[in-house]
């Protein structure tokens, strides 16, 4: 088991991220509040550097590498958002980066990753082992592997988002009753669980996942890590990790409320609502929290709820189809 990060690590990560990450807004909409019968504030991490929260953890990890330890650069495996975060952080550090990405990753995510100077190697999500591929390449290049969630510095970096949301809420004299977090491997959830449990312990923390990929919801219910029966088949490409990470689940299990699950139709509705009412472009995986609010997956009346919109890197054709109702 890797070192378990603490709130002190999250606070240290925030110092490291100063002048590097964007202080993303906490957006409130009268239309959303009216629908929910609540105060719902959306943490628009789709406006973060590289278009998702992933830059936070990537920078917190990669910025610590010394020249000797990283002489071969960095290698990561990712469905797209971690790839871009790693590529951008490596570019700033002037380190070569290679990203192992699923072949079905939206082209915008592959193109954006390459735009930061990273090399991309694709694999079949259904049949290949991405970690084995990354490990082999890292060994050949003497490179450092930067995992997407199963790393204390990655988790601590993602937790800075939660600190910001808590403080932005406090500026409006709001203490959150609940926070809704999109869950893939659990790194974003774990970092935010550390932040909220330390700074807003009354807040209920819920993971949100697409139907068929609800490994966190099932794992929290059973008390052990559950694996999804499939690895493809959802528009929420950012949330298709096969199961919760060992490290992330050890942090999340004692801190989380029950997980929530949304359908693809509910995700599409949330993306349309965000575009029309919040003026935000949110990718499917980033919209699951908002989808849970709109579909009333938890009681909302009279509550203060934070929703993390974790990314905005949606394929333009898919987005156009969703907006047009196809």
- Structural tokens at position 153: 């510095």
Contact indicator for 101, 78 with CB cutoff of 8 Å: yes
Contact indicator for 249, 225 with CB cutoff of 8 Å: yes
SS3 assignment, position 93? coil
Residue 75 has phi, psi (to 5 degrees) of -130, 135
Taking the domains of the chain in order of start, what are their residue ranges? 7-52+152-323, 55-145
Query: What dotted CATH number matches 55-145?
Result: 3.40.50.1100
| 7-52+152-323 maps to CATH 3.40.50.1100 | yes
Longest dimension (CA), the chain: 57
Q: How far is CA 250 from CA 7, 23, 155, 299, in A?
A: 15, 28, 12, 27
DSSP H helices, the chain, are 7-17, 30-36, 54-62, 81-92, 107-115, 130-141, 152-171, 187-199, 215-222, 246-252, 264-273, 288-294, 316-323
Same fold, 7-52+152-323 and 55-145: yes
Q: Helix (H) and strand (E) counts for the chain? A: 13, 10
Q: What is the pLDDT of residue 108?
A: 84
Q: What is the pLDDT of residue 109?
A: 85
Q: Scan for tokens 């590289």, then name that residue.
A: 50
Q: Which of 252, 248, 284, 247 has its CA nearest to residue 269? A: 284
> How confident is the chain (326 residues) per 10-residue block, as mean pLDDT?
90 97 98 97 98 98 84 89 95 94 86 93 89 92 93 98 98 97 97 98 98 97 96 91 95 98 98 98 98 98 98 95 91
Q: What is the pLDDT of residue 1?
A: 57
Compute the 3-state secondary structure of the chain and give helix, strand, coil in percent, each to the nearest 5: 45, 15, 40
């Amino acid at each position: 088991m890797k070192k378990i990060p603490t709130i002190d690590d999250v606070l240290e990560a925030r110092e490291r991220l100063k002048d590097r990450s964007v202080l993303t807004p906490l957006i409130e909409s009268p239309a959303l509040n009216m629908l929910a019968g609540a105060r719902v504030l959306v943490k628009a991490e789709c406006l973060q550097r590289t278009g998702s929260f992933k830059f936070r953890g990537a920078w917190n990890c990669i910025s610590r590498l010394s020249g000797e330890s990283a002489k071969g650069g960095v290698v990561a495996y990712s469905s797209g958002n971690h790839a871009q975060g790693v590529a951008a952080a490596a570019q700033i550090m002037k380190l070569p980066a290679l990203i192992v990405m699923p072949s079905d990753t939206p082209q915008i995510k592959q193109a954006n990753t390459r735009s930061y100077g990273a090399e991309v190697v694709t694999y079949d999500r259904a049949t290949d082992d991405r970690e084995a591929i990354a490990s082999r390449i890292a060994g050949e290049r003497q490179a450092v592997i930067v995992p997407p969630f199963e790393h204390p510095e990655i988790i601590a970096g993602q937790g800075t988002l939660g600190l910001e949301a808590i403080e932005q809420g406090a500026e409006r004299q709001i203490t959150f009753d609940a926070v809704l977090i999109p869950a893939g491997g659990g790194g974003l959830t774990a970092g935010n669980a550390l932040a909220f449990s330390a700074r807003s312990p009354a807040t209920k923390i819920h993971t949100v996942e697409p139907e068929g990929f609800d490994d966190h919801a099932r794992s929290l219910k059973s008390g052990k890590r559950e694996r999804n029966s499939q690895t493809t088949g959802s528009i929420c490409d950012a949330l298709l990790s096969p199961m919760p990470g060992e490290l992330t689940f050890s942090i999340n299990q004692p801190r989380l409320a029950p997980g929530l699950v949304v359908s693809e139709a509910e995700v599409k509705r949330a993306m349309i609502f965000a575009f029309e009412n919040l003026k935000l472009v949110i990718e499917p995986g980033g919209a699951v929290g908002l989808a849970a609010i709109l579909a009333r997956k938890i009681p909302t009346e009279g509550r203060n709820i934070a929703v993390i919109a974790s990314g905005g890197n949606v394929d333009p054709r898919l987005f156009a189809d969703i907006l047009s109702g196809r």
